């Protein structure tokens, strides 16, 4: 493993242990050249996945990119990191078990949206606004209305008889 500080290829593992959900191995490493310490994670990969973008371009699936986009949606939200990790692991497992090496980007995006809907509604709306490329306030109203339908509640509506600045 290359040292992220000095680039040396001669790093040593000092400690290994499974993560809490036993889905990966956490390794503490040290670089004998610069003394830098860092952590790596080792995960099982059932098959090499590729994401097919809307343009038709094929790129290798990047779990870290998916994790970063979920972290952005969850920024300043109090969601247990273990629940987020379980969601991400579940999505990766689903993708790998589909049997296809090429996965449309829409499939990945929809799976992330479903996972976020179960974790945090604000993060779900944030992610959807970027993923679906919202351009106007009505787009937010539409997704909030769908979210309210799923919950079995009625979406907030304007009060009738409310005064406007035109009156």
Residue 2 lies in a domain: no
H/E stretch holding 104 reads strand 102-104
CB atoms within 10 A of CB 69: 16
Asked whether residue 39 falls in the same domain as residue 78, the answer is no
109-147 pLDDT per residue, tens? 999 999 999 999 999 999 988 888 888 888 888 888 888
Which of the two residues, 96 and 34, has the higher pLDDT score?
34
Helix/strand/coil (H/E/C) assignment for every residue in 33-100: CCCCEEEEEEECCCCCCEEECCCCCEEECCHHHHHHHHHHHCCCCCCCHHHHHHHHHHHHHHHHHCCC
Give me the domain span that covers residue 17. Answer: 11-44
Give the CA distances from residue 122 to residues 70, 111, 118, 144, 159, in Å, rounded to whole numbers and listed in that order: 12, 16, 11, 10, 24
Top-ranked range on mean pLDDT: pick from 16-20, 35-39, 128-132, 153-157: 35-39
Residue 164 lies in a domain: no
pLDDT at 165: 44
Residue 163 lies in a domain: no
Residue 158 lies in a domain: no
Q: What is the mean pLDDT of residues 32-57?
A: 88
Residue 44 has pLDDT above 80, yes or no: no
Asked whether residue 40 falls in the same domain as residue 69, the answer is no
Q: What is the mean pLDDT of residues 70-94?
A: 92
Asked whether residue 104 falls in the same domain as residue 142, the answer is yes
């Amino acid at each position: 493993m290359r040292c992220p500080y000095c680039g040396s290829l001669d790093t040593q593992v000092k400690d290994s242990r499974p993560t809490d959900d036993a889905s990966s191995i956490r390794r503490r490493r040290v670089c004998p050249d610069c003394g830098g310490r860092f952590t790596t994670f080792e995960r099982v990969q059932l098959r090499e996945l590729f994401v097919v973008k809307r343009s038709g371009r094929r790129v290798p699936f990047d779990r870290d990119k998916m994790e970063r986009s979920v972290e952005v949606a969850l920024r300043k939200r109090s969601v247990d990191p273990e629940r987020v990790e379980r969601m991400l692991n579940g999505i990766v497992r689903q993708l790998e078990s589909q049997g296809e090496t090429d996965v449309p980007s829409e499939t990945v995006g929809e799976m992330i949206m479903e996972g976020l809907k179960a974790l945090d509604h604000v993060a779900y709306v944030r992610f959807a606004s970027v993923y679906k490329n919202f351009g106007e306030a009505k787009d937010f109203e539409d997704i909030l209305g769908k979210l309210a339908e799923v919950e079995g509640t009625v979406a907030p509506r304007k009060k009738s008889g409310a005064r406007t600045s035109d009156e």
